[in-house]
Amino acid sequence: MIFYKSKAFLILATIAVLIGSFIFYFFYGFPWNLIKHTSRFEKYLDNKYKTEFTIDEITYDFFHSTYHATAYAKNQPKISFYVGENNGTKETEDAYEYETWRYQAKKELSPIIEKIYPVQVNFSIEIADIKKSEIKNSQIPDYRTCTTLEIEISMEGYEVTAENKIKELQRAFQILQSLKEHGVYLHHFGISFKNKTMQLGHDEIILINSFNDLDTWLKEYR
Protein backbone atom coordinates (compact mmCIF):
# COMPACT_ATOMS: atom_id res chain seq x y z
CA MET A 1 0.00 0.00 0.00
CA ILE A 2 2.82 2.38 0.87
CA PHE A 3 4.51 1.49 -2.40
CA TYR A 4 1.41 2.40 -4.41
CA LYS A 5 0.99 5.69 -2.48
CA SER A 6 4.63 6.55 -3.12
CA LYS A 7 4.26 5.67 -6.79
CA ALA A 8 1.10 7.79 -7.10
CA PHE A 9 2.80 10.69 -5.36
CA LEU A 10 5.79 10.38 -7.69
CA ILE A 11 3.52 10.40 -10.74
CA LEU A 12 1.60 13.45 -9.50
CA ALA A 13 4.84 15.25 -8.62
CA THR A 14 6.24 14.51 -12.08
CA ILE A 15 3.06 15.80 -13.76
CA ALA A 16 3.18 18.94 -11.60
CA VAL A 17 6.82 19.54 -12.54
CA LEU A 18 6.07 19.03 -16.23
CA ILE A 19 3.11 21.41 -16.12
CA GLY A 20 5.14 23.97 -14.19
CA SER A 21 8.02 23.64 -16.65
CA PHE A 22 5.70 24.15 -19.61
CA ILE A 23 4.12 27.22 -18.00
CA PHE A 24 7.57 28.67 -17.32
CA TYR A 25 8.66 27.91 -20.89
CA PHE A 26 5.48 29.46 -22.33
CA PHE A 27 6.13 32.77 -20.57
CA TYR A 28 9.94 32.84 -20.30
CA GLY A 29 11.39 30.24 -22.68
CA PHE A 30 14.39 28.18 -21.64
CA PRO A 31 16.20 29.58 -18.56
CA TRP A 32 19.50 29.89 -20.42
CA ASN A 33 17.84 31.84 -23.23
CA LEU A 34 16.23 34.12 -20.67
CA ILE A 35 19.63 34.90 -19.17
CA LYS A 36 21.20 35.31 -22.62
CA HIS A 37 18.57 37.76 -23.85
CA THR A 38 18.61 39.76 -20.63
CA SER A 39 22.36 40.25 -21.05
CA ARG A 40 21.94 40.92 -24.79
CA PHE A 41 19.36 43.66 -24.24
CA GLU A 42 21.48 45.33 -21.55
CA LYS A 43 24.55 45.38 -23.83
CA TYR A 44 22.48 46.66 -26.76
CA LEU A 45 21.19 49.60 -24.70
CA ASP A 46 24.54 50.32 -23.03
CA ASN A 47 26.29 50.46 -26.40
CA LYS A 48 23.61 52.54 -28.11
CA TYR A 49 23.15 55.17 -25.42
CA LYS A 50 26.49 54.90 -23.57
CA THR A 51 24.91 54.59 -20.15
CA GLU A 52 23.97 51.70 -17.87
CA PHE A 53 20.52 50.14 -18.03
CA THR A 54 18.56 47.65 -15.98
CA ILE A 55 16.19 45.09 -17.50
CA ASP A 56 13.16 45.34 -15.27
CA GLU A 57 11.02 42.50 -16.61
CA ILE A 58 11.48 40.11 -19.51
CA THR A 59 8.99 37.73 -21.10
CA TYR A 60 8.94 35.24 -23.96
CA ASP A 61 6.53 35.37 -26.90
CA PHE A 62 5.87 31.67 -27.42
CA PHE A 63 4.10 32.14 -30.76
CA HIS A 64 6.87 34.25 -32.35
CA SER A 65 9.86 32.82 -30.44
CA THR A 66 10.95 36.31 -29.42
CA TYR A 67 11.82 38.03 -26.15
CA HIS A 68 10.41 41.35 -24.95
CA ALA A 69 11.25 43.40 -21.89
CA THR A 70 10.87 46.67 -20.01
CA ALA A 71 13.95 48.56 -18.95
CA TYR A 72 15.16 51.81 -17.42
CA ALA A 73 18.41 53.75 -17.26
CA LYS A 74 20.09 53.52 -13.87
CA ASN A 75 20.45 57.28 -13.79
CA GLN A 76 16.78 57.83 -14.77
CA PRO A 77 14.60 55.08 -13.26
CA LYS A 78 11.40 57.10 -13.78
CA ILE A 79 11.47 56.45 -17.53
CA SER A 80 10.41 52.88 -18.16
CA PHE A 81 10.46 51.74 -21.78
CA TYR A 82 10.20 48.76 -24.11
CA VAL A 83 13.16 46.83 -25.49
CA GLY A 84 12.92 43.55 -27.34
CA GLU A 85 13.02 41.60 -30.57
CA ASN A 86 10.97 42.58 -33.58
CA ASN A 87 8.58 39.68 -34.23
CA GLY A 88 9.24 39.84 -37.97
CA THR A 89 12.95 40.60 -38.31
CA LYS A 90 14.14 39.35 -34.89
CA GLU A 91 16.25 42.53 -34.67
CA THR A 92 16.51 44.22 -31.28
CA GLU A 93 14.66 47.53 -30.99
CA ASP A 94 13.68 49.89 -28.19
CA ALA A 95 11.45 52.83 -27.29
CA TYR A 96 13.86 54.73 -25.04
CA GLU A 97 13.85 57.84 -27.23
CA TYR A 98 10.06 57.85 -27.51
CA GLU A 99 9.48 57.47 -23.77
CA THR A 100 12.17 60.05 -22.98
CA TRP A 101 10.48 62.60 -25.24
CA ARG A 102 7.11 61.75 -23.72
CA TYR A 103 8.53 62.22 -20.23
CA GLN A 104 10.17 65.53 -21.19
CA ALA A 105 6.96 66.90 -22.69
CA LYS A 106 4.77 65.91 -19.75
CA LYS A 107 7.25 67.28 -17.20
CA GLU A 108 7.54 70.64 -18.95
CA LEU A 109 3.99 71.18 -20.19
CA SER A 110 1.84 69.76 -17.39
CA PRO A 111 2.53 72.75 -15.09
CA ILE A 112 1.38 75.12 -17.85
CA ILE A 113 -2.00 73.43 -18.15
CA GLU A 114 -2.35 73.09 -14.38
CA LYS A 115 -1.62 76.79 -13.90
CA ILE A 116 -4.24 77.89 -16.42
CA TYR A 117 -6.74 75.37 -15.05
CA PRO A 118 -6.16 75.53 -11.27
CA VAL A 119 -9.25 73.42 -10.70
CA GLN A 120 -8.19 69.88 -11.45
CA VAL A 121 -8.98 68.67 -14.95
CA ASN A 122 -8.01 65.54 -16.82
CA PHE A 123 -5.56 66.01 -19.65
CA SER A 124 -3.20 63.96 -21.76
CA ILE A 125 0.04 64.91 -23.47
CA GLU A 126 1.11 62.37 -26.06
CA ILE A 127 3.48 62.14 -28.99
CA ALA A 128 1.51 62.18 -32.23
CA ASP A 129 4.41 61.78 -34.61
CA ILE A 130 8.21 61.71 -34.73
CA LYS A 131 9.66 64.28 -37.13
CA LYS A 132 13.24 63.03 -36.91
CA SER A 133 15.62 61.22 -34.61
CA GLU A 134 19.24 62.25 -34.48
CA ILE A 135 21.23 60.78 -31.62
CA LYS A 136 24.55 62.58 -31.42
CA ASN A 137 27.23 61.48 -28.98
CA SER A 138 24.66 59.06 -27.53
CA GLN A 139 22.56 62.01 -26.33
CA ILE A 140 18.83 62.06 -27.01
CA PRO A 141 17.81 65.49 -28.39
CA ASP A 142 15.04 67.60 -26.89
CA TYR A 143 11.48 66.50 -27.67
CA ARG A 144 10.68 69.83 -29.34
CA THR A 145 13.14 69.20 -32.17
CA CYS A 146 11.94 65.65 -32.88
CA THR A 147 8.24 65.29 -32.17
CA THR A 148 4.76 66.65 -32.76
CA LEU A 149 2.37 66.51 -29.83
CA GLU A 150 -1.28 65.79 -29.25
CA ILE A 151 -2.85 67.49 -26.23
CA GLU A 152 -6.36 66.72 -25.01
CA ILE A 153 -8.07 68.43 -22.08
CA SER A 154 -11.22 66.96 -20.59
CA MET A 155 -13.74 69.12 -18.71
CA GLU A 156 -16.72 66.90 -19.31
CA GLY A 157 -18.36 67.89 -16.02
CA TYR A 158 -18.16 71.59 -16.89
CA GLU A 159 -20.74 73.28 -19.11
CA VAL A 160 -19.95 76.20 -21.41
CA THR A 161 -22.57 78.95 -21.06
CA ALA A 162 -23.08 82.43 -22.48
CA GLU A 163 -21.63 83.79 -19.24
CA ASN A 164 -18.37 81.79 -19.18
CA LYS A 165 -17.78 81.28 -22.90
CA ILE A 166 -15.29 84.15 -23.31
CA LYS A 167 -13.34 82.97 -20.27
CA GLU A 168 -12.97 79.47 -21.75
CA LEU A 169 -11.90 80.81 -25.12
CA GLN A 170 -9.29 82.97 -23.39
CA ARG A 171 -7.96 80.04 -21.39
CA ALA A 172 -7.65 77.88 -24.47
CA PHE A 173 -5.86 80.67 -26.32
CA GLN A 174 -3.53 81.19 -23.36
CA ILE A 175 -2.48 77.55 -23.52
CA LEU A 176 -1.86 77.72 -27.26
CA GLN A 177 0.24 80.86 -26.81
CA SER A 178 2.26 79.33 -23.99
CA LEU A 179 2.96 76.21 -26.05
CA LYS A 180 4.00 78.36 -28.99
CA GLU A 181 6.40 80.31 -26.76
CA HIS A 182 7.93 77.01 -25.62
CA GLY A 183 8.58 76.02 -29.23
CA VAL A 184 6.14 73.12 -29.13
CA TYR A 185 4.90 71.75 -32.45
CA LEU A 186 1.27 70.72 -32.04
CA HIS A 187 -0.25 68.09 -34.28
CA HIS A 188 -3.59 68.29 -32.49
CA PHE A 189 -5.18 70.27 -29.65
CA GLY A 190 -8.58 69.57 -28.15
CA ILE A 191 -10.80 70.48 -25.21
CA SER A 192 -13.96 68.58 -24.29
CA PHE A 193 -16.68 70.18 -22.17
CA LYS A 194 -19.99 68.81 -20.96
CA ASN A 195 -21.88 70.32 -23.89
CA LYS A 196 -19.24 71.50 -26.35
CA THR A 197 -15.94 70.47 -27.91
CA MET A 198 -13.01 72.23 -29.51
CA GLN A 199 -10.76 70.21 -31.83
CA LEU A 200 -7.98 71.75 -33.88
CA GLY A 201 -5.33 70.27 -36.14
CA HIS A 202 -1.98 71.88 -36.85
CA ASP A 203 -3.25 73.75 -39.93
CA GLU A 204 -6.02 75.34 -37.85
CA ILE A 205 -3.78 76.11 -34.86
CA ILE A 206 -1.34 78.24 -36.87
CA LEU A 207 -4.24 80.48 -37.98
CA ILE A 208 -5.28 81.34 -34.41
CA ASN A 209 -4.17 84.89 -33.54
CA SER A 210 -6.64 85.80 -30.78
CA PHE A 211 -9.14 84.08 -28.51
CA ASN A 212 -11.95 85.26 -30.78
CA ASP A 213 -10.56 83.06 -33.56
CA LEU A 214 -11.31 80.02 -31.41
CA ASP A 215 -15.03 80.75 -31.32
CA THR A 216 -15.44 79.09 -34.72
CA TRP A 217 -14.02 75.84 -33.33
CA LEU A 218 -16.14 75.70 -30.17
CA LYS A 219 -18.96 73.46 -31.31
CA GLU A 220 -21.91 71.59 -29.89
CA TYR A 221 -21.66 67.83 -29.60
CA ARG A 222 -23.48 66.09 -32.44
pLDDT at 198 over 50: yes
Mean predicted confidence (pLDDT) in 140-152: 94
Do 62 and 110 share a domain, yes or no? no
Contacts of 110 (CB under 8 A, 6+ apart): 123, 125
Task: Report helix, strand or coil for 12.
Answer: helix
Residues 202 and 127 placed together within one structural domain of the fold: yes
Q: Record the pTM.
A: 0.85
Instruction: Please check whether residue 33 lies inside any domain of the structure.
Output: yes
Structural domain harbouring 50: 2-94
In terms of domains, do 116 and 15 share one?
A: no
Residue 32 has pLDDT above 70, yes or no: no
Q: pLDDT tier at 22 (50, 70, 90 boundaries)?
A: very low
Q: Residue type for 69, please? A: A
The answer to whether 71 and 56 are in contact (CB under 8 A) is yes
Assign residue 22 the CATH number of its domain. Answer: 3.10.450
- Regarding whether 18 and 73 lie in a shared domain, the answer is yes
* The pLDDT value given to residue 180: 95
Same domain, 62 and 44: yes
| Helix segments in 147-196, DSSP class H | 165-181
Domain boundary among 63, 94, 125: 94
Q: Residue 68's beta-bridge partner residues?
A: 59, 84
The reported pLDDT for the residue numbered 156 is 85
